[in-house]
A and B are shown apart, each in its own frame.
Chain A
Amino acid sequence: MNPESALAKIFGKDGVSTHKAELLSYATDASQIFGTALAVVFPKDEDHIRKLIILASQRNYPLVPRGGGTALTGAVVPDNAIVVDFSRMDRIIQINVKTKEAILEPGVIVDDLNMELRQFGLYFPVIPSSHEVCTLGGMVAANAAGLHALKYGKTEDWVNGMKTIDGTGKSYTFNEKNDFIGTEGILGFITEIKVKVTPLMPHTYLTLTRCKDLPQMIGDVEELAKDSKIVSLEFLDPITSKLLKLPESYHLIAEFVGEGEDSDLMELREGASVVLGGEGYLTTADPKLSSDKMEEFLTWIKENGIPCFGHIGYGIIHPRFRDDQGELIKEMFQLVQKLGGEISGEHGIGIIKKEYLDPDRKAELKGLKYMYDPQGIINPGKVI
C-alpha cells in the first residue's frame, strides 16, 4: 500500500515526498550503494517521530534515519523503506556557557554548531572530514572521529545525554551514554542530543616530515605521540605523496598547539582523498590498528600496492581501493581481524562491512536490536 496519504496526515504535504526523482536522490549515500526509497519524510519534532513509528509498526514499514547522507558504508541506504530525513530538525536548543554543554536537535551540522559556539569562545572538537555537511545525529550514530581524534577522541567522548525513541515507540531520556551511540540507527531515533563543548583550541601550527621508509615513520609516530602539545598526526603513503606532488616517500603531518607559521599542510592532507578519487580509488576503508601491529599492517598494504593515508596517531588508516578490488578488500579485513584490530575505526559498519563484524559484537547488537526494535522496522539490513 502506498504510504503517502497516511504520512501526509502526520507530516503535512510539505513534509513528505514520493516524487520519483526525489526518491532516487535518497536511494544512496556517499557509499554509492543504491537501494529503493518508498517515501521521504521530514520530521520537525519528537511528536512526528512518535506518530511515524506507530504508523510504521502497524503497517510494517521499514524506516531509515538519515542526517547529512555522508555515510561511506551504506548505513542510510533504504531497502524498500521510508527515509526519515532529519535536515529540518536542526535547532540549537540551548548553549550553556557555564556548564559547557549544548542541547541540539539531531539535524544540526557540526560546522553550524561551531559557528554558534565561537561567539562564546567554545568549540565542539570532533571534526570529521565531512564537517561542513554531516549532522550531529549521524555522528552519534556512527560514533565518528576525525582529524583531532588523537587529542579529543570520538563523538561518544562528548555526548552527555540524549533523548531517543526506540522501535516500539518508547521514549528514553538518558543522562549518560547509551546504546544508541555507535549503533548506526538500528535501535531507534535520536531526537535530542546534549553534548559537551570545550574552550576554543589555542593557535596551532603544522609540520611536514619526510620519512625514509616505513620503520622510520613508525618510530617517528611513537615519538611524536608522546608530545603533550600534539593534537593531530596524519600520514601519507608514497603513492599518495607522489600524487600530491611530494617526493615518493612516507610523510607525516603533525599539528601542535603553540605559536608557529600558518601553512596549507592540512589542505594537502585533505586533498589526499580527492587525488586518489580522481585516480579511480573510490572505495575507502577505515581499519583501526594498535601501534604494535601498525608496521605489519602497512607492510601488507604496501606490498599490495594499495594507496593509503589517515589518522595514524589515533591508529586509523584509510586504504583506498578501485571498484574491481573486492577480493583485496576482503583480504585486508581478514588481516585486520588476525592482527586484533577494529574493522571500522570511524565510518561504521553499515552494509559493506557486515560480514566482517566481530561475532561477539554482532551477538551483543542482535540482543539490543531485539530489546529496542523487536519488530525489526528501524534501519533493517544494516550492521548485523
Chain B
Amino acid sequence: MEDYEKCTLCGLCKVNCPTFQVLKNEGDSPRGKAILMKKECDDPIFFKCNLCGACKTSCPMGIDLGLKQHRAKLVEKDIQTDANKKMIENVRKYGNPFGDPDDDSDPDELYCC
C-alpha cells in the first residue's frame, strides 16, 4: 500500500502548507493532491507545491505523499507546466534553469522546480 492511500483526508496537512496558505484553494493543498492520487487524476496542479515537506510534519500519521516521485512520473507522461518544461530545457541546454549563461542581462523569467 502506498503512503498516500492511507490518507484519511482529515485536512490537517493544510496548516503549514505554504502553497495552501497563499492560494487558499483546496485543489492546491496536500489533501487535494492526495485525493487526486487516490482517484488517479494526473494534472499539472502537482507542480503547485514547494516540496518543502511541511505536510508530512503536520500529518497526524506522518504520511509522505511522495510528491517529488509523483511529479517525475507526470513528466514522463508529459503532464507538466510550461515553466517546468522550460526549466528542464534550459538545464539540458545551458546547465542552469535560467537560460543562456553568456547573456549578461537578467533573465526575463525565472524557473524553479
Contact = CB atoms under 8 A, between A and B. Distances in A.
Contacts of B27: 17, 19, 21-26, 40
Contact of A25 (B12, B24, B31, B58): B31
Interface stretch (B38-46, B64-72, B85-93, B103-111): B38-46
Nearest to B16: A132
A278 interface: yes
Interface residues of B, number: 25
Contacts of B43: 20-21
Interface in B18-76: 24-27, 29, 31-33, 35-36, 39, 41, 43, 45, 58, 60-61
B23 to A, nearest CB: 9
The range of chain A's interface size is: 20 to 34
Contacts of A19: 27, 45
Contacts of B14: 68, 133
Nearest to B6: A278
A24 B11 contact: no
Contact of B61 (A29, A133, A274): A274
Contacts of B32: 21-22, 25
B15 interface: yes
Interface of A: 17, 19-30, 32, 40, 42, 68-70, 85, 87-88, 90, 130, 132-133, 270-271, 273-274, 277-278, 282
Given A23-B27, A69-B11, A282-B8, 13 more contacts: A20-B41, A22-B25, A22-B27, A24-B27, A25-B26, A25-B29, A29-B9, A32-B9, A68-B14, A85-B26, A87-B24, A130-B10, A274-B60
